[in-house]
Structure 1
Amino acid sequence: MKHKLLTIFVLLALLLGLAPAQAAIAESESTPPAVLNAEDWSQIEELLAEALPSQQAYLKASSTDWYDYFGASVAISGDTVVVGAYLEDSNVTGVNGNQGNNLAEDSGAVYVFVRSGRTWSQQAYLKASNTGANDLFGYSVAVSGDTIVVGAWGEASNATGVDGNQNDNSADRSGAAYIFTRSGTAWSQQAYLKASNTEADDWFGKSVAISGDTVVVGAWNEDSSATDVNGDQGNNLASMAGAAYVFTRSSGIWSQQAYLKASNTWQSDSFGFSVAISGDTIVVGAWQEDSNATGVNGDQANYSAPDSGAAYVFIRSGGIWSQQAYLKASNTGAFDYFGHSVAISGDTVVIGAREEASNATGVNGDQSDNSADKSGAAYVFTRSGGTWSQQAYLKASNTGAGDYFSLFSVAISGDTVVVGAPYEDSSATGVGGNQTDNSASASGAAYVFTRSGGIWSQRAYLKASNTGEGDGFGVSVTVSGDTVVVGAPYESSNATSVNGNQNDNSAFGSGAAYAFFQSHTATFRSTDAQDGWVLETGENTNRGGTKDSAATTLRLGDDASKKQYRSILSFATGATLPDNAVITKVTLKVRKQRIIGGGNPVTTFQGFMVDIKKGLFGTSALQAADFQTKASKTYGPFTTALAGGWYTINITTGKAYINKLATGDGLTQIRLRLKLDDNTNTISNFLSLYSGNASLASKPQLIVEYYIP
């Protein structure tokens, strides 16, 4: 594949409609432009394909059934995905019980999936410890590492605090949350959470969030008139004002740390309808708050913009929580419902306004034309020091009235934001399809935005692989690193588990979830002075003698004195690969120059051997001792055939020895040799390959595919 800098011209040529034969690139200042051949263009097409995510898995419940709404909630942490099905009906309790009966209608369930490599499988089936009809367990889910929190806002016990009595169901729809932990691959329930002021119809568990050892639970119908943190819970003078509760874990024991209320608590504000947490920062949405303020920390005292909505930022210092900011949209409007969905990652917050009405598209468009009713918007805020400001105003690339962009779902991980629009209508499938054909009403879509240098842009438009009318793809979204998961709770296939048949729609409203994956490919080229060949001092001495780091060739095989050639290749992988990159494939490519002595040395000497060193064989510069210095690991023999002038060797088994750190100058060094030491004759027989001193197009390549969890 051509160097990334050199692909710019090619990509531009594509945009201008030039045919492949019309696009030429120069490999260096000293070489003339070369017309791209079919192989070059194949590689360019691969690069273009890598620029967008692709669907990796189609997830269904192991107990798929009508109207379970699997996918109504989704959460991800690394290689673990959690999917809620809050209308599932089995009456079992705990983990991995019998899914076969439907004796507890709408009790709800949660399904845990894990990824190994690129393959997903179901790991667990979770139920409440006190499963009850209409509890809606799984309406909300969150995961952090080996801990899952599940909300069940329909649960009815009158217990308070942690691990109280679950059996007295006298507080209808008071709600509960459940903590599950994983040890090895086994899940178990760790805690049963209730509000400190449990009351009927508070809907505790409508929203949940987790970061490490801290959990936040929203109760958007809670009624106290308290304000700020740890106020008086004893009065119910502000009906449906809402609250949020913070719980922390110490040595496996959970306790309530804080009781959060808005700084301008008012009846029917629905504070706690959405919650999010990252480290010591919590965001709480109040989608029916009424002030007409705009931006950050505006006037909370007027109520002239009914149901415009707000969000509140709280921070923790030394175990004490306080409100840091009061966030409003930059274009506050009545009934925009700003705060209906919230998400946070580090110093960046995303807030959805499901019924915002501008007809703008993309990023930072015109907010003033409200001709697209209920199209929806999302707002990005960032923190510098302790000060928040709005960074971006996000709209769909195909804004349409009634699409409800950000309705229930926004998600963020680092510099990536995902927004769901479950009532979007296009019939497209997969990634980057046609957005203009609105023949699949309420099929739904999700939009991926990425940030570079403080500037946001839309990266991808996601649709289900089996787009169907009314599926609600985008009701829920979640993102972790390079993986996005989108829920479609009204999807109707009767498939079960992973990647089943999507075409039999006989299980109406069973629901599905879709995992999308963005892989990265980094191509490293061996560096001139740090690679070269070393010749053995004498037959079978296994010690290096003569060396050459300046030639444009590498050598493998033997000379007329039966001395073996070995070659060192040096790749600066540590300068590019992120420390948390999960490597999925490693390929070494070397280009043939010529053969001395005839025949095929690769078969004569029984194949390539690859010695990998995570770091340096000795020093970064080529030295004689590199011939025999011990490697981190050896792989082979590889009897790969020559194709298109290149030998391609899959060394994925050695991925653990690819250097992602600054140790050893951040280098991964490879010693390439042939299996047999010599072929016992006195005739030179060796393979010449191009070295790192050759032109860019001929240098040895180490191609590393990876993703960020």
Structure 2
Amino acid sequence: MSPSRRELLAVLSSCAVGVLGGCAARSGERVEGKPSTARGDTPEPAATDGRPPEDWQRSTALTPPPRVRGGVVGHEVAVAGDGQTVLAGSVKGPNQPRPTPVTVFERAGRGWDRQAVLAVPTDSLARFGTAVALADDGTTAFVGAIGDGAPRVSVFERAGDGWDRTDTLAPDIGEGILGLTLDASAAGGTVLVGLGHTSGVRATDGPNRVLVYDHDGEDWQRAADLTPPGDGHHRTFGTDLAVSGNGTVALLNATPASGAVSGTPSSPAERAAQRGGAYVFAREGGTWDRRSVLLAPNGEGGASFGGTVALADDAGTALVGSPDTGSPPRIFERTSGGWYHRGSLPVADVASGRRVGTALALSADGRTALVGAAATDDSASSLPGAAYRFRRDGSRWRRTAVLGPWSAPGDRFGAAVALSEAGTTGVVGAPSLSGPGKPYVFE
């Protein structure tokens, strides 16, 4: 979970719990999709930095239905592998009387339709839509929620023109959960659920962990708990995460707790606890083990290194961001000998006040990257956010497009990003606290 999204949720956590009415999705109950007569807003040409944007020539703003517009829409986004389905998370805004559903958008010719809204019939999950994930085929959706301090993940399956809620993942973790992150494998058979505790509780002292769920063909089973090492204290662990396409490699962020480790670190885990980093876990057989720690060279990136992460489906390329410092995301590549640092993305000419790396995404082959750059709190009221697209040619990365601004200052454009499997469709969230946020699709 990026800093911008954590800040949004911190504001929203003080909102009262309401009753969710309308299109409720009980287990086995159909959520009918209703195509909208008003599709995405008028397409505009994608802005660039002077070079052709390759195949991204159009942008479309996806407008949520009226009953969702009081929420914070677009703080989390997901896109199907073929780029034809978009999932937009929406949590209850400060002035919203009840939780808001998640919106499913679907490609319709050259435009987009609002295909369905996903919701649950309960008045306790005030923060339904805290996190979202989507299988590559666009037929399985995962929606995270937090209510009464307990995390829940609802599993929805596409059924004709509607969606059925087929299961709920409800780990018995205890109270005090404030954050929840999700990612799913390409086929949707493995899902990671990242949990964060109250602020001030170190990851090794609280229930900060990442849960791995596998579907065995009939039911969902909790397969593993991924935890930080005992020799290092982290302020966050798994608040941003990614899983490989086959569900066997996980990348989990970790940022340091103030004063957790002093002096010269004696292990990679202590270096991550002191300076931030990202942990690589891998599954062999039925066992998950911690394999590597991705660290910035010479402590570059400051204490926010590891704030955001992205992993290619083939688990050959990873990005690790430092959004609080504005340093460009670091590139890591896996070879037969392990993981190696390969420099940073060539971010240049970024307006002061934008946090580069508030959200990160990679295509399946790791050759296309999408980087969010939402405005800082001090600049959010006057500066629109942006997003940057990069392509790798051989060993060289180049910036191919600068996206935005299509939103007004304060809309936090760039707080969330997602890429289709081939990297030909990008989605950027603009979760405004003062108005109807929305996702933007670039093609």
Give distance in 2, aligned partners of 1:75 and 1:238. Answer: 30
Q: Do the aligned partners of 1:240 and 1:267 also contact (CA within 8 Å) in 2?
A: no
Normalised to the residue count of structure 2, the TM-score between the two structures is 0.76
Using the TM superposition, give the Cα deviation of residue 350 of structure 1 relative to its aligned residue in structure 2, in angstroms.
1.2
Q: Do the aligned partners of 1:286 and 1:339 also contact (CA within 8 Å) in 2?
A: yes
Letter in 1 for 2:356: F
Q: Do the aligned partners of 2:141 and 2:156 also contact (CA within 8 Å) in 1?
A: yes
1:462 aligns with 2:438: no
Using the TM superposition, give the Cα deviation of residue 65 of structure 1 relative to its aligned residue in structure 2, in angstroms.
5.9
1:127 aligns with 2:125: no
Letter in 2 for 1:328: L
- Could you say which residue in structure 2 is the equivalent of 1:354? 323
Letter in 1 for 2:347: A
1:449 to 370, 390, 408: 390
Using the TM superposition, give the Cα deviation of residue 182 of structure 1 relative to its aligned residue in structure 2, in angstroms.
1.1
Q: Do the aligned partners of 1:375 and 1:403 also contact (CA within 8 Å) in 2?
A: yes
- Could you say which residue in structure 2 is the equivalent of 1:509? 435
Aligned to 1:405, what secondary structure does the other structure show?
strand
- Could you say which residue in structure 1 is the equivalent of 2:8? none
Aligned to 2:288, what secondary structure does the other structure show?
strand
Q: Which of the pair is proportionally richer in strand?
A: 2
After TM superposition, the structure 1 = structure 2 runs for residues 219-368 of structure 1, keeping only pairs within 5 Å, are: 219-221=195-197, 238-240=204-206, 242-264=208-230, 266-278=232-244, 279=246, 280-288=248-256, 299-301=268-270, 305=274, 308-333=275-300, 335-345=302-312, 346=314, 347-355=316-324
Letter in 2 for 1:148: A
Give distance in 2, aligned partners of 1:266 and 1:240. Answer: 13
Q: Do the aligned partners of 1:56 and 1:118 also contact (CA within 8 Å) in 2?
A: no
Using the TM superposition, give the Cα deviation of residue 187 of structure 1 relative to its aligned residue in structure 2, in angstroms.
1.0
Give distance in 1, aligned partners of 2:160 and 2:166. Answer: 15
1:54 to 42, 52, 57: 57
- Could you say which residue in structure 1 is the equivalent of 2:141? 148
Give distance in 1, aligned partners of 2:343 and 2:108. Answer: 36
Give distance in 2, aligned partners of 1:208 and 1:126. Answer: 16
Using the TM superposition, give the Cα deviation of residue 89 of structure 1 relative to its aligned residue in structure 2, in angstroms.
9.3
Using the TM superposition, give the Cα deviation of residue 316 of structure 1 relative to its aligned residue in structure 2, in angstroms.
1.2
Using the TM superposition, give the Cα deviation of residue 108 of structure 1 relative to its aligned residue in structure 2, in angstroms.
3.5
Q: Do the aligned partners of 1:400 and 1:424 also contact (CA within 8 Å) in 2?
A: no
- Could you say which residue in structure 2 is the equivalent of 1:618? none
Using the TM superposition, give the Cα deviation of residue 117 of structure 1 relative to its aligned residue in structure 2, in angstroms.
3.9
Aligned to 1:132, what secondary structure does the other structure show?
coil
Give distance in 2, aligned partners of 1:274 and 1:303. Answer: 15
Q: Do the aligned partners of 2:232 and 2:270 also contact (CA within 8 Å) in 1?
A: no
- Could you say which residue in structure 1 is the equivalent of 2:89? 84
Using the TM superposition, give the Cα deviation of residue 448 of structure 1 relative to its aligned residue in structure 2, in angstroms.
0.5
Q: Deviations along 1:49-85, whole A, 9 cap, x unmatched? A: 6635233421011126665111111011121110011
Q: Do the aligned partners of 2:233 and 2:261 also contact (CA within 8 Å) in 1?
A: no
1:486 aligns with 2:431: no
- Could you say which residue in structure 2 is the equivalent of 1:412? 362
1:207 to 181, 184, 192: 181
- Could you say which residue in structure 2 is the equivalent of 1:360? none
Give distance in 2, aligned partners of 1:184 and 1:85. Answer: 24
1:139 aligns with 2:126: no
Using the TM superposition, give the Cα deviation of residue 293 of structure 1 relative to its aligned residue in structure 2, in angstroms.
11
- Could you say which residue in structure 2 is the equivalent of 1:399? 350
Aligned length: 374
Q: Do the aligned partners of 1:309 and 1:337 also contact (CA within 8 Å) in 2?
A: yes
Question: Which blocks of at least 5 consecutive residues in structure 2 are unaligned?
Answer: 1-50
Normalised to the residue count of structure 1, the TM-score between the two structures is 0.49
Question: Which blocks of at least 5 consecutive residues in structure 1 are unaligned?
Answer: 1-47, 91-101, 157-172, 226-235, 356-373, 426-437, 492-507, 518-709
Q: Deviations along 1:6-28, whole A, 9 cap, x unmatched? A: xxxxxxxxxxxxxxxxxxxxxxx
Aligned to 1:199, what secondary structure does the other structure show?
coil
Give distance in 1, aligned partners of 2:163 and 2:181. Answer: 22
After TM superposition, the structure 1 = structure 2 runs for residues 191-206 of structure 1, keeping only pairs within 5 Å, are: 191-195=167-171, 197-203=172-178, 206=180
Q: Do the aligned partners of 1:292 and 1:303 also contact (CA within 8 Å) in 2?
A: no
Give distance in 2, aligned partners of 1:381 and 1:292. Answer: 27
Letter in 2 for 1:217: V
Using the TM superposition, give the Cα deviation of residue 185 of structure 1 relative to its aligned residue in structure 2, in angstroms.
3.0
Q: Deviations along 1:542-583, whole A, 9 cap, x unmatched? A: xxxxxxxxxxxxxxxxxxxxxxxxxxxxxxxxxxxxxxxxxx
Give distance in 1, aligned partners of 2:175 and 2:408. Answer: 38
Using the TM superposition, give the Cα deviation of residue 320 of structure 1 relative to its aligned residue in structure 2, in angstroms.
1.7
Identity of aligned residues (%): 28
State the Cα RMSD in Å.
3.2
Max Rg structure: 1
Give distance in 1, aligned partners of 2:236 and 2:124. Answer: 26
